[in-house]
Amino acid sequence: MSDRTDAAVQPTSLPEPPYYAAIFTSLRTDDDPDGYARTAEHLSRLVREVPGFLGEDSARTPGGLSVSVAYFRDLAGIERWRDHPAHRAAKRSGRERWYERYAIHIARVEHGHAFSRHSPTGGRPE
């Protein structure tokens, strides 16, 4: 629901593991692009208010696949977002109109590392 193409262009920085990731991959229909965009924008604000939300990385290949990852401190945060009424309503609209197909993977992150050209020792390079 959050594969906006105007997402931040920098990868989210890393919390201490363990944390959780909700991986959402999707392929859109051509139906109702305005309704989809409005809802995606609304949800991207709502998720920031969910206790335990840590951040989000999102990309969309034009005309192709979207891959979005939302990070949460714990499984309870993921469940709060899954059960959020606005999110549930959006998922129904997604199945009815917006998505050709999608997949969700709920995962516990056990390791993470990061690299930044401008602070090569500031991240946690492999």
Residue 73 beta carbon to a copy of itself: minimum distance, rounded to whole angstroms: 14
CA distance 89 to 111: 33
For a copy of itself, give the closer residue by CB, 8 or 86. 8
H-run or E-run covering 67: strand 66-72
User: What is the Cα gyration radius of the chain?
Assistant: 15
By CB under 8 A, residue 106 contacts a copy of itself: yes
Spacing of C-alpha 108 from chain mean position: 15
User: Which residues, 27 to 86, sit near a copy of itself by CB under 8 A?
Assistant: 27, 29, 57-69, 71, 82
By CB under 8 A, residue 5 contacts a copy of itself: yes
SS3 for 17-34 is CCEEEEEEEEEECCCCHH
User: Could you list the residues that contact a copy of itself (CB under 8 A)?
Assistant: 3, 5, 7-14, 21, 23, 25-27, 29, 57-69, 71, 82, 91, 94-95, 99-118, 120, 123, 125-126
